[in-house]
Amino acid sequence: MPPAVLAGLPPTADTPALAAVVAAREAMNRKQWSVLGALVPQAKSDPLGMYPEYWLLRYQLWSPPAGGRPNTDLQKFINGNGDAYLADRLRADWLLAAARSGDFDLVRKLAPVKNSNAQVECAILNAKHMTGQRATAAQAMAVFAPGGACWTLYDQLVADNVLGWDQLEPQLRDAIEANKTTDARKFVQYMFEPRDQKTYDVLIKDPMRWLTRQDRLPVGRNEKELVTIALARLARSDINVADSYLRREWAKSMAKSNLAWIRGQYALVAALNLDSRADDWYHEAGHIRMTEYNAGWKVRAALRQPKIDWKWVIDSIDQMPEAQRQDPSWVYWKARGMAATGRRDQANAAYASIADRFDFYGQLSAEELGRRITVPPRPAPISDSEIAEARANPGLRRAVQLFRLGWRQEAVPEWNYALRGMSDRQLLAAAELARAENIYDRVVNTSDRTEKEFDFSQRFIAPFEGRVAAKANAIALDPAWVYGLIRQESRFIMDARSHVGASGLMQLMPATAKWVAGKIGMSNFTPDSVNDFDTNTELGTNYLNMVLRDLNGSQMLASAGYNAGPRRPHNWRSTFNHPVEGAIFAETIPFNETRTYVKNVMSNSVYYAAMFSGQSQSLKERLGNVVPLGAESTTLP
C-alpha cells in the first residue's frame, strides 16, 4: 500500500498547479526571475502554491524593482497565509531588510518573529535603541551572534558608549580562543586606535617575532592587551617553546589576571591534544572567567588524571555559568565528585534530578542510583481522531508533500514549525503520520519532543523489517549497536549525505566503501550503488565489524573509530598511562562531533537492546573500561 494511503493523505497529484510549483523552484534556482513571476499565479491553487510567491517576494525584498520594495504585496502575503511557516519567515526577511535600510519604525512594527534568530533579535534591539528605548550592554551581549544585524547593533552601541572595553575585551579574547579571526578583528576595530590595529595585524601572524621586539614592561592598557594576546597565540605553534618563553621572559612582569588567561589558553591547547600537563596549567590559571568550551575542558583534563582531584572537579563546575552547570554532563560529574568526597545524599539528589532523562548521562545517573535501564511503558495508542487531526494540520500536510517531492531542505523547517505548541498526544500523532510516510527522521525527532508520554517504538524506531538485524546477525554483530549507530548517523534517511561526502544509512565514505567491497569480495559493487539499502548495510556492518575487532571488541572505541577514523581512538587510548572507565574516555574525546556521536550511539544501543531483548540493560557494562596498550597502530582506512 502506498505511504500516502497509509497516512490517510491523498497521493501527490501531477496537476498543472503542482507542475508550476516544480517549475518555479527550478526558475528560482536558475535566478530566472521573470519566469518565476509568470509561474506564481499558475501555482496558486496547489497546497504548495505559496512557495513560488514567497521565492519571488524574497527576491524583490533584497533586490527591489524600480518602484521600490513591494510592501503592500509583502503584507498581503503575511496576512493571507496566517500562521504558516513561510509567512513568519517572510516577516523575518522583511524585518532584516527594513533594518538594513534604517527603517526602524517598520522593524518595530514587524516584531516579534516566532521562528526568530540572533540577527532578527539584534535588529529589533537596535530599532528600539534608535527610536528612544535605549539598549543596555547586557541586552546586546545576550542576543549577539556574529552576523550583519548584530554587527550593526554593536557599531551603534560602541558609537553611543553603551559598549566599552570592559564588555568587548572578553569577547575579543573568546574570539581569539576560538580562532575566529574575522570576528576578533572586528572587536579589535572597536577597542583600538588605527595604529594599534595595525600592530595587532602584525602580531597575530607571527607573535614570537613581534614579542622579541617588545619592552618587557608594557605600560598602557592597549599595549598590555596586545602582549597578552601574542603570548596566548604562541601556544598554537609550539606549546613547549611558548611555556618556556613565557616563564623566562614575561611571567614576572605581567598582571596576574592576564597571566591567568594565558595559562588558561595553554591549558586548552594541551587539553585538546590530550597532553597530561593541561591539568597543571588549569591549576595555574585558577578559577578565572572562561568560555563554556574552555570550562568544560578544565573538568575533562581533571577527569583524565590517574588520581582525580574531585574537589577540584566540583569547584571547577561550580565556576561555570548557571546554564552550563545545569547541563546533564556536569550535573553527573559533579555528583560523582560529591559521592567521592563523602556527600552521598547530595550526590543521589543530583543523580535523581537527571536520572529520568533518556540520554547518556540520564542512564549513567540511573545506574548510580541502582536502577538498570528499561523501556518506559508505551502510552495508549493514538486514536483515529488524533490521527485525523494530524492529517488535517496544514503545515504537516505541506511538509509531507515537500518530502514526497524530495525537497528535504524545505520540508524539514515546514514540519518543525508545525510542531510548535503541540501537546504530547499531538506530537505522537504527528510522529505516526511521519511513520506512515516512511519519513523516519521526523518520527524520531518529533517523538523526542514529548515530555510525559514516551513511545519508544517511535523514538527508537527500527525500520526495514529486520533487514538491518539480518545483516548484523550474519557476521555476529550486535543488531542493537548497529541500529543505535544508524539512528545517530543518518536517522534512517536512505539517501543521507554528510558535509564530507559520506552517504547512505551507514554514512560510508566513497573510498571506504570501495575498500570494504574489495575486502569482502563484493564483485558487483559500483560507486553509484552505495546508497542502495543492501549494499550500504552490508558494507557498513562489515566495516563496523572490522573496526570493532581492531579495537579489541570495544563498542565505544569502535563507535569513535567509525566516526573519526580508526586511527584516532588508537591514538587517544595511547595517551593514557592508566586504565580509565568508559564514561571518562567518552567525555574526553577531543572532537566535539565524535564525543557527542559516541555518547549518543552508546545510549541508543542500550535502548535498542532493551527493546529487542525485553531485558533491562546497563550502559556502564556496555562502555566497559579502556586499558592503554602503549604504542598503537592500525591498517584500517
CATH number of the domain residue 405 falls in: 1.10.1240
Q: Are residues 184 and 65 in the same domain?
A: no
* 72 CB-contact burial (10 Å; exposed 0-12 / middle 13-18 / buried 19+): exposed
Alpha-carbon span 236 to 378, nearest angstrom: 52
The predicted-structure confidence for 329-386, as pLDDT tens digits, reads as follows 999 999 999 999 999 999 999 999 999 999 999 999 999 999 999 999 999 999 999 9
Residue after which a domain boundary falls, among 283, 312, 341: 312
The predicted-structure confidence for 129-167, as pLDDT tens digits, reads as follows 999 999 999 999 999 999 999 999 999 999 999 999 999
What pLDDT is stored for residue 496 in this prediction?
87
Alpha-carbon span 12 to 297, nearest angstrom: 51
Question: What residues contact 631, with CB distance under 8 A and at least 6 apart?
Answer: 574
Helix, strand, coil tally for the chain in percent (to 5): 65, 0, 35
286, part of any domain: yes
User: Domain count of the chain?
Assistant: 4
Alpha-carbon span 568 to 547, nearest angstrom: 12
What pLDDT is stored for residue 499 in this prediction?
81
What pLDDT is stored for residue 563 in this prediction?
98
Characterize the bridge pairing of strands 625-626 and 580-581. antiparallel
Q: Are residues 400 and 542 in the same domain?
A: no
Q: Are residues 19 and 107 in the same domain?
A: yes
* 408 CB-contact burial (10 Å; exposed 0-12 / middle 13-18 / buried 19+): middle
461, part of any domain: no
363, part of any domain: no
Q: Are residues 437 and 509 in the same domain?
A: no
What pLDDT is stored for residue 9 in this prediction?
57
User: Which CATH number fits the domain that encloses residue 584?
Assistant: 1.10.530.10
317, part of any domain: no
What pLDDT is stored for residue 497 in this prediction?
85
633, part of any domain: no
Q: What is the amino acid identity at position 502?
A: A
CA 602 remoteness from chain centre = 18
What pLDDT is stored for residue 4 in this prediction?
43
* 215 CB-contact burial (10 Å; exposed 0-12 / middle 13-18 / buried 19+): exposed
370, part of any domain: no
Q: To 5 degrees, how large is the angle CA 455–CA 457–CA 459? A: 70
* 179 CB-contact burial (10 Å; exposed 0-12 / middle 13-18 / buried 19+): exposed
500, part of any domain: yes
Give every residue of the chain whose pLDDT is below 70, as ranges: 1-13
Q: Are residues 278 and 307 in the same domain?
A: yes
Residue after which a domain boundary falls, among 429, 454, 479: 454
Alpha-carbon span 92 to 86, nearest angstrom: 10
Q: Are residues 191 and 277 in the same domain?
A: yes
Neighbours of 30 (CB within 10 A): 10
Plot region of 467 (φ>0 → left; ψ -120 to 50 → alpha; else → beta): alpha
The DSSP call for residue 13 is -
Q: Are residues 50 and 122 in the same domain?
A: yes
Residue after which a domain boundary falls, among 398, 432, 454: 454
* 299 CB-contact burial (10 Å; exposed 0-12 / middle 13-18 / buried 19+): buried
Does residue 539 contact residue 517 with C-beta atoms inside 8 Å? yes
176, part of any domain: yes
Domain that holds residue 608: 467-626
What pLDDT is stored for residue 549 in this prediction?
98
Which residues on adjacent β-strands are paired with residue 497? 503
